[in-house]
Amino acid sequence: MSLPEIGQPAPDFALPGSDGEIIRLSHFRGKANVLLAFYPFDFSPICEKQLPGLQEQMERFRALETVVLGISTDSPYSHRAFAAELGLEFPLLSDFFGKHASAAYGVLRSDGFCERASFIIDKKGILRYAAVHGLDRVPDVEELIRVLESLVQSHD
């Protein structure tokens, strides 16, 4: 599997959040940039650093008109407990059934869970950034912010 191509429409998906609500990527088209933060497992050491690191920057993401969506192959029930434990305010989406989103973004591993990866999609639904970070590494939030700042500046 390979990552979707930069400059092309981002693969759409419809996934349940921890509250059971179905969230579609296409819902944000024309409204907000989207940061997809794929991560391997709820309650794992690196994920317990990655997601709070995003939460700490929520004001900056909002200022950059960006919605953050966490995605893993864990269940919505696990996500609910994980989000509560970490105090996360952004949705954690479950790609548990079918694993279609992880596959569409080229991050589904042969062992059934997803890579740690970040994707930035602009308001038009076009993929502008894609990176697989490695399972043992917390992604650089400042790099993601820089990409989003350049998107916002280019559309001013």
Side-chain half-sphere of 134: how many Cα atoms within 13 Å? 4
End-to-end distance of the chain based on CA atoms, in angstroms?
35
Beta strands, E only, 17-126: 22-24, 33-38, 66-72, 92-94, 117-121
> Pick the catalytic residue: 47, 141, 147, 148?
47
Question: H or E segment at 14?
Answer: strand 14-16
| Residue 114: active-site member | no
Both tokens assigned to 31? 């409204």
Q: Residues with catalytic annotation?
A: 47
